[in-house]
Structure 1
Amino acid sequence: MMQQNQIKNPQSPLLSKTKGPEMNDRDMVNETLAGLKYITDNFNVFAREASHQALHNDVMGVLVESHGQTREVFNLMFRKGWYTLEPENSQKLQQTHQQFVNYQSQFPYNPGMLQ
């Protein structure tokens, strides 16, 4: 049963309700997403710390591709109902927004100049 505060598509009826030790489609896609998250995290560090410009450029290309693949796998999981999101309440969103607006006053430069 889906909780009221979840954002989720219905799961495929083909997915067994009882889970045994074997990997099903959801498990394999979930492992793929976890692996892609690990790869993108490490490529982020690699791109930041690459000292040679050509290497940095190559790593950035791979990083962008891996982020794209990660997004595609996330979208697949969400479409199939295998990834659940929970909405944040509007009061907490407003508080977080205000917190970051307040941080802007502490910047030594005008944030509008960066755009």
Structure 2
Amino acid sequence: MTQQSKIQNPETQVPKSPAMNDRDFLNDILTTEKYMTSSYSIALNEASHESLYQDLAAIMNETQDSQRHLFNVMFEKGWYSFDAAQQSSLQQSFQQFTGYNNQLPSGGLTQ
């Protein structure tokens, strides 16, 4: 079995103390942005007025962009890492999606 490698930038060190540091603040804000985008998605599903829907959609897009920017900052600072996917796992996911796609009417999403 091959060992998975990490996809990560060098970690920016922060002071270890009871007080919140930059990583803590960014993590808190990122968590809040994720919660807000989820909540806006629900609000969009429930919006019955077109103008309200458009306003909420614009706000949600701005919030989603902010969430992505915060994620990128945390990744750049080495505060997020990922396990590199194994080729066999990618192939299995592709085959599973292809199976689902072929079950859709009219041959799926590729048409």
TM-score, length-normalised on structure 1? 0.85
| CA positional deviation for 1:52 | 1.1
Q: What is the CA deviation profile of residues 94-115 of structure 1, one whole-angstrom value per residue up to 9, with x for unaligned ones? A: 10111011111211234234xx
Percent of aligned pairs with the same residue? 39
Separation in 1 of the partners of 2:45 and 2:72?
27
Read off the aligned partner of 2:62 and give its amino acid letter: E
Separation in 2 of the partners of 1:109 and 1:63?
33
Counterpart of 2:90?
Answer: 93
Separation in 2 of the partners of 1:61 and 1:69?
12
CA RMSD of aligned residues (A): 1.7
Separation in 2 of the partners of 1:39 and 1:107?
32
Counterpart of 1:41?
Answer: 38
Counterpart of 2:6?
Answer: 6
Separation in 1 of the partners of 2:56 and 2:9?
35
What are structure 1's unaligned runs of at least 5 residues? Answer: none
With over 3 angstroms needed to count, the CA separation of the structure-2 counterparts of 1:91 and 1:4, relative to structure 1, is: closer
Runs of 4+ in structure 1 displaced over 4 angstroms? none
